[in-house]
Structure 1
Amino acid sequence: MLSRPYSYLFEISYYGARFKGWAKQKGQPTVEGKLERVFRFILGHEDFRFIGSSRTDSGVSCRQGFVQLFLREKTDLETLLPVLNLNLSGEIVLNSVREVPRDLNLIQAVSHKTYRYFFAEEHSFPAFASAFVTQVHQFSDLDKMEEKAQIFVGKHDFRAFCKVTPNKTDFVREVIEAKVYLTEEFAGNFFPEKVYCFEVTGTGFLYNQVRKMVAAIWHFSSDEIKERLANPEKEYKQVPTAPAHGLVLWETVLRDF
């Protein structure tokens, strides 16, 4: 018999600058850690477990992700949603909740994810914009960046565009779409006149992959990107990692279940 037979799915948003990433770390503010503290307080016990659909890096925000909660007893979480959000203080928002089958594997249920990275030129850059937009010294013009973004589309070995960790052996990932454009998501006195967006959709991403792809479209030539994708096992100078605060997990799409 399952110790926690009830399963609930939350859609979640959070402001990443407040946290050292998703996963719990001793002595550090994390999304998972704050969720656990608030749920422990509201539910009055700690007999529960979370699984997140994404483990975002420190400083990365999320517009739409998912969290699966396992409980021992059936609970009306929809009624508790307002008080949960009040205690999450606005830096994390649980947008909705529904009961789902206990055997749902949230990680495997993710069909694809879309990330957006926002950036602008350094001149006339308002201080408030730094919450969501990265200030960049120099980058290629829009047409060239769009051309370089297209090179990433398809299934490739991305080991030259990620932070390699000792336990990682599979570096093949599929990029479904990648593009760069001027965005209208930000407007007004708090933001630069021109804000650019690198948008990428894929079935999954490696550690720092999106942020290294962003740095490559800023500063690398098309030939350099092609060379690293074609010959990933060669020794290369490491691709810089773009700052975290410009990155947002924009959309997470789940398969039907």
Structure 2
Amino acid sequence: MLSRPYSYLFSLSYYGARFKGWAKQKGQPTVEGKLERVLGYVLGHDDFRIIGSSRTDSGVNCRRGFVQIFLREKVDLGALLPSLNQNLSGEIHLGSVQEVARDFNLIQFVERKTYRYFFASAENFHPFASAYITQVDGFQALESMQESASAFVGKHDFRAFCKVTPNKTDFVREVLEAKVYLSDDFVEGFFPEKVYCFEVTGTGFLYHQVRKMVSAVWAFSPQEIQDRLASPEGDWAQVPTAPAHGLVLWETVLRSL
């Protein structure tokens, strides 16, 4: 018999600058850690387990993701949403909740993810804008960045565009769409007149993959990107990792429940 037979799915968003990433770390503020503390406080116990749809890096924002909770008893979590969000203090917001089958596996049900990375010229850049937008000293013209971004589309070995870790052996990922455009997500106030967005959609991403793709779009030609994708184990100079604060997990799409 399952020890926690009830399962619920929350949609969520969070401001990543407040946290050292998703995963719990001893002595560090993390999204997973705060969710567990608040859930434990509101439920009155810690007899539950949670898993997230994405393990974002330190400083990365999330507009739409998901978290699944497993419980021993049936609970009306919809009625508890206001209390949960009040105690999450606005840094994390749970948008909705629904009961799902106990054998529903959130990670396996993620169909695709879309990330957006926002950046602007360093000229007349106001510090307040740095909460969401990266200040860049120099990057290619928009048309050139669009051409470079399109070189990533398809199924490739992204070993040359990620942070390689000892336990990782599969570097093949599929990029469904990649583009660069002028964004209208930030207007007026302290934001620059021209804010650029690198948007990429894929079935899954490696550690630092999106941020390294951003750096490549800023500086690499389509041919340079294609060469690294074609020979991922070549003796390439390491691609810089773009700063985290410009990155937003914009959309997470699940397969039909």
Tell me which interval the TM-score lies in, with the shorter structure as reference length.
Answer: over 0.9
* CA distance, structure 2, for counterparts of residue 93 and residue 116 of structure 1: 19
* CA distance, structure 2, for counterparts of residue 216 and residue 103 of structure 1: 40
Secondary structure of 1:41's aligned partner: helix
* CA distance, structure 2, for counterparts of residue 148 and residue 219 of structure 1: 9
Q: Which residue of structure 1 aligns with residue 146 of structure 2? A: 146
1:189 deviates by: 2.1
* CA distance, structure 2, for counterparts of residue 69 and residue 190 of structure 1: 39
Q: Which amino acid aligns with 2:230?
A: A
Q: Which residue of structure 2 aligns with residue 233 of structure 1? A: 233
Q: Would the aligned equivalents of 2:151 and 2:225 in 1 still touch at CA under 8 Å?
A: yes
1:220 deviates by: 1.6
Secondary structure of 1:225's aligned partner: helix
* CA distance, structure 2, for counterparts of residue 100 and residue 19 of structure 1: 28
Q: Which residue of structure 2 aligns with residue 180 of structure 1? A: 180
Q: Which residue of structure 1 aligns with residue 66 of structure 2? A: 66
Secondary structure of 1:168's aligned partner: coil
Q: How is 1:101-140 mapped onto 2 (pairs within 5 angstroms)?
A: 101-140=101-140
Secondary structure of 1:84's aligned partner: helix
* CA distance, structure 1, for counterparts of residue 194 and residue 124 of structure 2: 10
The CA RMSD measured in Å over matched residues stands at 0.5
> TM-score with structure 2 length normalisation?
0.99
Equivalent pairs counted in the alignment come to 257
> TM-score with structure 1 length normalisation?
0.99
State the percentage of identical aligned residues.
Answer: 75
Q: Which amino acid aligns with 2:91?
A: E
1:256 deviates by: 1.0
Q: Deviations over 1:205-249 (max 9, x none)?
A: 000000000000001222211110010011211000000000000
* CA distance, structure 2, for counterparts of residue 222 and residue 47 of structure 1: 51
Q: How is 1:168-207 mapped onto 2 (pairs within 5 angstroms)?
A: 168-207=168-207
* CA distance, structure 2, for counterparts of residue 102 and residue 244 of structure 1: 34
Q: Deviations over 1:139-166 (max 9, x none)?
A: 0000000000000000000000000000
* CA distance, structure 2, for counterparts of residue 220 and residue 110 of structure 1: 31
Q: Which residue of structure 2 aligns with residue 3 of structure 1? A: 3
* CA distance, structure 1, for counterparts of residue 100 and residue 223 of structure 2: 47
Q: Would the aligned equivalents of 2:149 and 2:222 in 1 still touch at CA under 8 Å?
A: no
Q: Which residue of structure 1 aligns with residue 256 of structure 2? A: 256
Secondary structure of 2:12's aligned partner: strand
Q: Deviations over 1:163-187 (max 9, x none)?
A: 0000000000000000000000001
Displacement over 6 Å in runs of 4+: none
1:79 deviates by: 0.4
Secondary structure of 2:225's aligned partner: helix
Secondary structure of 2:175's aligned partner: strand
* CA distance, structure 2, for counterparts of residue 191 and residue 164 of structure 1: 35
Q: Deviations over 1:100-152 (max 9, x none)?
A: 00000110100000000000000011111000000000000000000000000
Q: Which residue of structure 2 aligns with residue 157 of structure 1? A: 157
Q: Is 1:45 aligned to 2:30, yes or no?
A: no
Secondary structure of 1:253's aligned partner: strand
Gaps in structure 2 of 5+ consecutive residues:
none
* CA distance, structure 1, for counterparts of residue 241 and residue 213 of structure 2: 8
* CA distance, structure 2, for counterparts of residue 111 and residue 221 of structure 1: 30
* CA distance, structure 1, for counterparts of residue 53 and residue 217 of structure 2: 27
